[in-house]
Structure 1
Amino acid sequence: MKLLFVSTPVGALGSGLGGGVELSLYNIAQEMMRRGHDLQIVAPAGSAWDNLPIVQISGNLQIIAQSLEREAAIAMPENSVLANMWDYVRQVEDEYDLIVNFAYDWLPFYLTPFLKRPVAHFVSMGSLADALDQIIIQISQQFSGTIGFYTAAQAATFPELTPPIYYLSSGIDLSLYQFCSEPKQQLAWLGRISPEKGLEDAFAVAESTTIPLKVMGKIQDESYWQKIQQDYPNAPIEYLGFVSTKEMQRVLRECRALIMTPRWVEAFGNVAIEALACGVPVISYSRGGPASIIQDGETGFLVEPDSIDGLIVATKQLDRINRQTCRDRTQKEFSLEALGERFEKWFVDILNFQP
């Protein structure tokens, strides 16, 4: 197949601004190329990731959907990189069999009926905006089977989707994650630092248990970050910044557990499978995607949402978890090969459904 991947417009690939969808796009692209498909990626200027074939498009970045109200009007900045990326798509679409949209934004869905080539939409978040919900539902009705999600829990936040709906999960290059059987007395928290990620609850766990917490990720909301530090001055925290996969897994693998504290319905949670790949159990609120990844009591613990006490109790039971079981589950379900099988089947199904 000749595939045209269109990235998120909220940040350059490799910047961390796009969150988990950046890693998903990267891994899917690598696996599709390994399988022999021709691939081009359209992404904002400044994108750079290994040897991926990227066309860089200039323009002003899109505001992240999480920061907007549900009833907010659709808006784009002047000289929008989102509009510029899709204008480029329109110019080159005849060269490709399938366009794959990774942007959680209204415009690509709206443009779908006007394009000559089919568009596969990989939806990277749960329901956040009424206008976007409406257009996603409309496209699911009009273009059968072209909407894909990470998990059923994520898809359930959108009302009245028309089947077939594809649940594609995620996957990682397991060779990049080294197993560690003997961790240090420390915990980890990974992700974008913004209110919907609930980082303050992990601070509370660190403060209560006195177990050091390693924090890694892009600071997306500086005022939120400053407030957490002020609210938990005695928490044993070390912020390591937004680091490479190599550095992240070096720290993560030596942790007793990864703490996940989502305030919203997390679509998946790539950080969970990154932790499991290192043999690190995951303690998470039982909300959204993580609940489909973690086997409670076997690869970590699922805790009542927003229960800090539940997180603390779980940290005291980590000796029950076999770290090798965590690694084995990742190899079985979240390898690049498994990811590639799911996405390749979806792409072929879409092309076969075309009139």
Structure 2
Amino acid sequence: MSARPLTLVLVSTPVGQLGSGRGGGVELTLASLVKGLVQRGHRLHLVAPEGSCSPVQDARVTLHTVPGVDQPSWQHAERNASMRIPCNAVLPRLWDRALELVGDGDALVNFGYDWLPLWLTPHVEPRIFHLVSMGSVSAVMDSAVADLARWDQRRLAFHTHRQADDFDLVEPPEVVGNGFDLSRYDLQLSTDGPLGWAGRVAPEKGLEDAASVAAGLGETLRVWGFVEDDAYARRVESAVPAGTIEWCGFKPTSELQRELGRCRALLNTPKWNEAYGNVVVEALACGVPVIAYDRGGPGEIIQSGETGWLVPPDDRDALAEATLSVSSIDRHACRHWVERCASQEGLAARVEAWIRKGLKPADGTIT
């Protein structure tokens, strides 16, 4: 007999509206998971900042929005900074609304990388689960994750083992990977297109390294993503010959995959431990090989020599050399990896299994 459908309250990131691009990879993860869970018959309440758009129009999904000031991202705080909640912040309002909604529901699932919901978890009756979206960037957050792991680590899941290794856990981590609606990505087999780069345009993403490689090869680098740091973008552009960077902006998936699929390679140059690497998988889904620093999630995703090349972190020369070898990668192999390991259906099944396991009775005490 199949398990009964769940009623879940999903709480979005408080750093920006869903659909704005400010939430980075969390937006894509949340959209995929909402669609996948609906396909599995679950009832969802999605709580998000005012102005957000629901990723799916379905009677089993209800969008609830609340007003408030965006929460600052931990990515841009000093490592030893204190927790900060702005006046009229959206973060506590999201959780006020979520706790009101859970009622007879089964659980809440948190997608925001924030101290408040982690702290709340042992102190409220509703079961709160956390899909941790970043690696270690804050001492406060590291402590909160470790405390919750000691209380009941079943409430925590991670995208990759490399991400989970950042934290002080008491048991082997629950790793759910990520998933994508592959019907939205078309395999393209052209191997003579431009170089591409995609992501939030901010210092931790390392765009300057990709731009330097493109400049050294005398090529144009197409850049997709929300420009989070204008001053940084200007510095990167001024450091390479005029015309090296072609700014393509933040695009919806339909446009992004069509343009990205024409690239002969995607360069991925993070300066920090990426939890997963959504743009890496989006490129692979289009058949585009990825050349990346062997750091964080991308280092766990890319099969070097089969779906792209991994090179030592921050080694621009190795990045350029690998770019010259990208024609040896079979674009069909890139797509096949995504179909096996990163489908929307697979992610939903893994997340559902994680939640059901965590709903079984267990006692825990923070020590």
In structure 2, what is the equivalent of residue 6 of structure 1? 11
Q: Which moved more, 1:226-235 or 1:254-263?
A: 226-235
Q: Distance in 1 between matches of 2:106 and 2:97?
A: 16
The runs of 5 or more residues in structure 1 that have no matched partner are none
1:181 paired with 2:189, answer: yes
Number of residue pairs aligned between Structure 1 and Structure 2: 354
Q: Which moved more, 1:181-190 or 1:249-258?
A: 181-190
TM-score w.r.t. length of structure 2: 0.94
Q: Kindly provide the CA deviation profile for residues 265-299 of structure 1, in whole angstroms up to 9, marking residues without a partner as x.
A: 01000111111111100000000000111000010
Judging changes above 3 Å, is the alpha-carbon distance between structure 1 residues 354 and 36 closer, same or farther for their aligned structure 2 residues?
farther
1:283 paired with 2:288, answer: no
Residue 76 (structure 2) aligned to one of 61, 67, 71: 67
In structure 1, what is the equivalent of residue 3 of structure 2? none
Q: CA contact under 8 A between 1:178 and 1:253: conserved in structure 2?
A: yes
In structure 1, what is the equivalent of residue 113 of structure 2? 104
Secondary structure of 1:239 counterpart: strand
Please tell me the residue identity of whatever aligns with 1:293: I
Please tell me the residue identity of whatever aligns with 2:197: W
In structure 2, what is the equivalent of residue 330 of structure 1? 338
The runs of 5 or more residues in structure 2 that have no matched partner are 1-5
Residue 347 (structure 2) aligned to one of 335, 339, 343: 339
Runs of 4+ that moved beyond 4 A:
none
In structure 1, what is the equivalent of residue 37 of structure 2? 32
In structure 2, what is the equivalent of residue 299 of structure 1? 307
Judging changes above 3 Å, is the alpha-carbon distance between structure 1 residues 210 and 185 closer, same or farther for their aligned structure 2 residues?
farther
Please tell me the residue identity of whatever aligns with 2:48: A
Q: Which moved more, 1:95-104 or 1:225-234?
A: 225-234
Q: Distance in 2 between matches of 1:211 and 1:188?
A: 11
Secondary structure of 1:40 counterpart: strand
1:1-355 aligned within 5 A = 1-49=6-54, 50-51=56-57, 53-158=62-167, 160-234=168-242, 236-354=244-362
Please tell me the residue identity of whatever aligns with 2:339: Q
User: What percent of counterpart residues are identical?
Assistant: 43
Q: Distance in 1 between matches of 2:135 and 2:67?
A: 28
Q: Which moved more, 1:91-100 or 1:310-319?
A: 91-100
Cα deviation for residue 115 of structure 1 reads 1.6
Q: Distance in 2 between matches of 1:259 and 1:319?
A: 14
Judging changes above 3 Å, is the alpha-carbon distance between structure 1 residues 93 and 86 closer, same or farther for their aligned structure 2 residues?
same
Q: CA contact under 8 A between 1:183 and 1:253: conserved in structure 2?
A: no
Q: CA contact under 8 A between 1:99 and 1:118: conserved in structure 2?
A: yes
Q: Which moved more, 1:85-94 or 1:303-312?
A: 85-94
Q: Kindly provide the CA deviation profile for residues 68-122 of structure 1, in whole angstroms up to 9, marking residues without a partner as x.
A: 0011011100011001111112222223101000110100011112221111111
Secondary structure of 1:207 counterpart: helix
Cα deviation for residue 354 of structure 1 reads 4.5
TM-score w.r.t. length of structure 1: 0.97
Cα deviation for residue 157 of structure 1 reads 1.1
